[in-house]
Structure 1
Amino acid sequence: MITLKKEKEFSKVYQKGQKKHTKYVIIIFLNNNLNEKRFGFVASKKTGNAVKRNRIKRLFREVVRLNYNKFKENYDYIIIGKAVLKDNIDSLKYDTMEKDILKGIIK
């Protein structure tokens, strides 16, 4: 799995990408013409303290790792955690997060 690292890469996807909203995440995606899938994971301070933000990003990475083939080729994806995760992350299970993210990419 290739990740977006540079601010320039994130900015391009933020500005030109299409957004899909689900209950827990916002998924922004953009065609990159690079013949590869790239991913960025964002959990802002609105989603909780450092422990919660790291858990959210670990869940996002695991969903992508196990469902890698369901994401389209030649696309950059940024998965952003919504503030509603702040209260729910302790009780939130992997299955729920997986369904939510997959619902966002299939819409």
Structure 2
Amino acid sequence: MFKNEYQGGAFVEIFSAQGKNPGAKWKILGSPSVIWKEFDKEVKSFVFVLEGSSQTNKIQLPKENKQILGLIQRFLVLQIYIPLGQDFSTELLINNLGVR
């Protein structure tokens, strides 16, 4: 997915809320109405909001199971804001193909 894109900089954004349709590369499991982007005054940027049960509503990247992200950076950083008292769960699967 990102294998053929420029990754020579310090970082590459895979969950950016910028642009007309930022979620086009994602597979949304559950109702499409449970995810939207909105402007957050605290972070002064657009953010994604995902509501509902973590059992039924999920985001998968890349969209197709047979695709790979192809990231080459050494670090993976996730910036996640969870309001106090809200439930949150995450599943992150990382495979190292050993290819550089």
**Does TM, normalized by the shorter one, top 0.5?**
no
Choose between structure 1 and 2: higher strand proportion: 1
Higher relative contact order (CA 8 A, sep 6+): 1
TM range (shorter): under 0.3
Structure with max Cα Rg = 2
